[in-house]
Amino acid sequence: MKFPLSWLRKYLDTQATVEEISDALNAIGIEVEGIEDPSAKLAGFRVAKVLTAARHPDADKLQVLSVDTGEGEPLQVVCGAPNARAGLVGVLGLPGATVPANGLVLKKSAIRGVESNGMMCSTRELELGEDHDGIIELPEDAPVGTAFADYRGSDPVIEVAITPNRPDCMGIYGIARDLAAKGTGTLIPLSDVAIAESFPCPVEIRTEDPDGCPAFYGRVIRGVKNGPSPQWLQEALNAAGQRPISALVDATNYVMLSYGRPAHAYDLARLTGAVVARRARDGEQVTALNGKTYTLDPEMTVIADEAGVHDIAGIMGGEHSGCQDDTTDVLLEIAYFDPERIARTGRKLNLTSDARSRFERGIDPGFLDMGLAHLTGMIQHLCGGEASEAVRAGAAPSMPRTVHFEPSLTERLGGVAIPHARQQSILESLGFKIVANEVNFESAWAITVPGWRPDIDGAPDIVEEVVRIHGLDAVESVYLPRAEGVALPTATPAQKLERRVRRAAAARGLNEAVTWSFLPVAEAEAFEDGPLWTLANPISEDMKAMRPSLLPGLLSAVRRNLDRGAKSLRLFEVGRRYLRGKAGASDERLTLGVVLAGEKVLRGWSSGKAVSFDAYDAKAEAMALLAEAGAPVDKLQVMGEAGPQFHPGQSATLRLGPKTVLARFGMLHPATAKQFDIEGPVAMVELFLDAIPPRKAAAGFARSSYAPPALQAVMRDFAFLVPTTVPAGDLVRTVQGADKVNIVAARVFDDFRGAGVPEGQKSLAVEVTLQPGEKSYGEAELKTIADKVTAAAAKLGATLRG
């Protein structure tokens, strides 16, 4: 939110500088994001007077001006403005100046063969308004030669970030109230505006949706004269980031920015019959002021007449009934809308506006009458006209909220002792009303919360108000008590595991990604493992489902990077996936996801053609990371397909037994790749870290010392003919388990399929490592072990190759 300093001073009597105001705002929790000095944009522009104006010799619409800049000889300037004439005092941009509207750097140039030494400027070019029909005309007594920034005066613009719990500060008056409570000036009370009600309101106004629109106030002003708003109003709105449109519309925006009270003005001639706040009918459509057409449903509140919808209530008005230059009669609308209804409607339509940002936070329900009076008075001041009687349909929530508070709580919760009288002064300056307990004023207060503070819910909120105004810097820093000695570790086994695998993945050359825990429903459904968790109140429709897997978020990250020209992607993420547990409880599971896309090896003079990632790369990552996580990788079985999201025949799971799945890996299914708009092969891994069995606790705290074997290990090679359907890993595990006392390791070192190998079989060569204990092996012992290996392999259909 932005506002010029002069606008703030309409409601805050202060002599503080902009820097002092900025420091005060930061101190009370209203973060200042920046301070802009508009005069800086006007450097190089000067008040100048046109001495002579003559027609350009080669252009009918151009004139050659002689311009007095107050220094030295007059400058020759070529100008195309229709109001350029001798005697006009305007603004000249000198060579070297930058035009704020388009960033053009002015320089001496020849225009149709005539030298021009600058440019006479319009208000639009200097971003001071929308007028572009002619150059700026200043008063005749404007000091020629003065820098235009000095002549115009510097009015710094302050930009602040308002947290969602402070709707009262969505209006400049609310910010002024907080500053006054801090002691940075005195709040100027709002004056009552007396409106002469000349005739009964000719329009029936009612609300048929008391839940969505409890109160709908309005009145008609007839005989107005619309047109451009005055210069001061245009400059104020421009400084606040609002585009001036017309006097009628600018008045509603001014009231909104001043008091945080959105309102709307309808062209009465474009309305038919009664104006009603009601639920939208399913499928109704309205073209909003932004030119887009929206389809509505019965969960949305609208403002409509007999002809149809004219306003998405509390969010944006309709294009059809908006005020035009020829508008003579207007209907003013000031209403109270349910904040939750406004928020849901805005998200569903993906429509944001200044009005929505205020209504969904909660506006002051007690400001309806005063807001209507202020808006009426301003429109009459700008556009004239006669006002009708006000019509009040329904009533806004007005039950005062009372918080019971003990002043001593401030020290207990806030950590700072503040005199009770000071606390009372702070709260009353913020608009709270205090009724003390008749028995003991010092111990029990009944505090009435003002309507503009819907965020105040209990006594701790009162403490926060007192402490932030008193000064957070007054809260003493106190160290937490700590017992003597060495602190015990606080990280849980799950946290240690998460840190270990994150470091291991990074050490393997993977880049960590952090994606949203929320997904579009379609992407979540592509990886769902049971019913999805969907949010009833999502930030947007693209963030409605809790992720059932980390892979869809990583795939979206891959798509974005590939679209931006990335050649090789190695991404991983450690996080939680969200499943529906028993009885609808949330089941959060620690997971690690890896996605490999693009080229594993880039093309080059030594490597030749580029090489893409394949399923074996995914398996290698899965095995390596599982080993780092402490999984018994030597006991893992490769089983089955990884799921419909993976390519059949190019994917599998890693399991401990048939039921405990520790990981799934493989290539992305082409249909899933198409859904995520990804071209080219993509390898994926998903490690279910929660499924890794915990390590058995050691009997003691000390590790046993390492004692290397006294005798050298013995290697024996076996070549087996096995069916091609038998995984090599199954054979290795079977061989290693044939004699658990003597066989300490086994690995495949050759896979041959060709001449000499029967059809449907493959030759697997396995290296077996034997470790003797107290004595070396004899021939008989080695034969016994070999027979055990051969017998165990036979159970898989393997035979020794001759």
> pLDDT tens, 589-634?
999 999 999 998 887 777 678 889 999 999 999 999 999 999 998 8
> 703 falls in which pLDDT band (50, 70, 90)?
low
**714-800 placed in CATH 3.30.70.380:** yes
pLDDT for 523 beyond 50: yes
Query: Any idea which residue has 């109704």 for tokens?
Result: 284
Residues 561-572 have a mean pLDDT of: 93
Determine whether the annotation assigns residue 465 to a binding site: yes
pLDDT for 439 beyond 50: no
The full length of the chain comes to 802
Are 51 and 227 within 8 A, CB to CB? no
Residues 747-773 have a mean pLDDT of: 92
> 538 falls in which pLDDT band (50, 70, 90)?
confident
In the DSSP assignment, the letter for residue 570 is E
> 481 falls in which pLDDT band (50, 70, 90)?
confident
What is the Cα–Cα distance from 220 to 222, expressed in whole angstroms?
Answer: 6
pLDDT at residue 152, rounded to an integer: 82
Q: Which two tokens stand for residue 564?
A: 């931006």
pLDDT at residue 99, rounded to an integer: 92
Q: Who's near 245: CB < 8 A, 6+ residues apart?
A: none
Residues 317-324 have a mean pLDDT of: 88
413 burial type by CB count under 10 A (0-12 exposed, 13-18 middle, 19+ buried): middle
Q: Which residues pair with 747 in a beta bridge?
A: 767
Domains 2-37+156-187 and 197-394 share a fold: no
Three-class SS of residue 383?
helix
Q: Which two tokens stand for residue 793?
A: 């392999």
Q: Which two tokens stand for residue 227?
A: 């047109």
Number of H helices, E strands in the chain: 19, 42
pLDDT at residue 700, rounded to an integer: 46
Among 115-119, 340-344, 451-455, 657-661, the least confident range = 657-661
**40-152 placed in CATH 2.40.50.140:** yes
Residues 421-450 have a mean pLDDT of: 83
Determine whether the annotation assigns residue 364 to a binding site: no
What whole-number percentage of the chain has pLDDT above 70? 98
Q: Which two tokens stand for residue 619?
A: 């398996």
> 699 falls in which pLDDT band (50, 70, 90)?
very low
Write down the CATH number for the domain with range 493-691. Answer: 3.30.930.10
**197-394 placed in CATH 3.90.1300.10:** no
pLDDT for 534 beyond 90: no
Among 181-185, 226-230, 305-309, 487-491, the least confident range = 487-491
Residues 776-796 have a mean pLDDT of: 92
The 3-state secondary structure of 388-434, one letter per residue:
ECCEEEECCCCCCEEEEECCCHHHHHHCCCCCHHHHHHHHHHCCCEE
| Cα-based distances in Å from 378 to 202, 233, 251, 539 | 21, 11, 7, 37
pLDDT for 521 beyond 80: yes
Element (H, E) at 331: strand 329-336
Q: Who's near 37: CB < 8 A, 6+ residues apart?
A: 154, 156, 157
pLDDT for 338 beyond 90: yes
Q: Tell me the pLDDT tens digit for each residue of 715-750.
A: 999 999 999 988 888 899 899 999 989 999 999 999
Give the residue from 552, 572, 670 showing the smallest Cα distance to 618.
Answer: 572
Q: Give me the CATH topology for the region 2-37+156-187.
A: Phenylalanyl-tRNA Synthetase; Chain B, domain 1 (3.30.56)
pLDDT at residue 405, rounded to an integer: 92
Among 510-514, 529-533, 792-796, the least confident range = 529-533
pLDDT at residue 697, rounded to an integer: 57
Q: Where are the domains of the chain?
A: 2-37+156-187, 40-152, 197-394, 401-474, 493-691, 714-800
> 440 falls in which pLDDT band (50, 70, 90)?
low
Give the residue from 421, 422, 407, 406 showing the smallest Cα distance to 474.
Answer: 422
Q: Tell me the pLDDT tens digit for each residue of 236-265.
A: 998 898 889 999 999 999 999 999 999 999
pLDDT at residue 774, rounded to an integer: 85
pLDDT for 68 beyond 60: yes
pLDDT for 516 beyond 90: yes
Strand-pair category, 682-688 with 186-187: unpaired
Determine whether the annotation assigns residue 464 to a binding site: yes
- Supply the pTM of this predicted model: 0.67
pLDDT at residue 583, rounded to an integer: 67
Mean pLDDT, the chain, rounded, equals 91
Per the model's pLDDT, the better-predicted residue between 802 and 673 turns out to be 673
pLDDT at residue 206, rounded to an integer: 94
Determine whether the annotation assigns residue 386 to a binding site: no
pLDDT at residue 585, rounded to an integer: 72
> 533 falls in which pLDDT band (50, 70, 90)?
confident
What is the Cα–Cα distance from 186 to 15, expressed in whole angstroms?
Answer: 10
Which residues of 56-156 form beta strands (DSSP E)?
Answer: 63-68, 75-79, 89-93, 109-111, 114-116, 119-120
Give the residue from 127, 237, 217, 228 showing the smallest Cα distance to 172.
Answer: 237
Q: Give me the CATH topology for the region 401-474.
A: Phenylalanyl-tRNA Synthetase; Chain B, domain 1 (3.30.56)
* Rg (the chain; Cα; Å): 38
What is the Cα–Cα distance from 624 to 633, expressed in whole angstroms?
Answer: 9
pLDDT for 384 beyond 70: yes
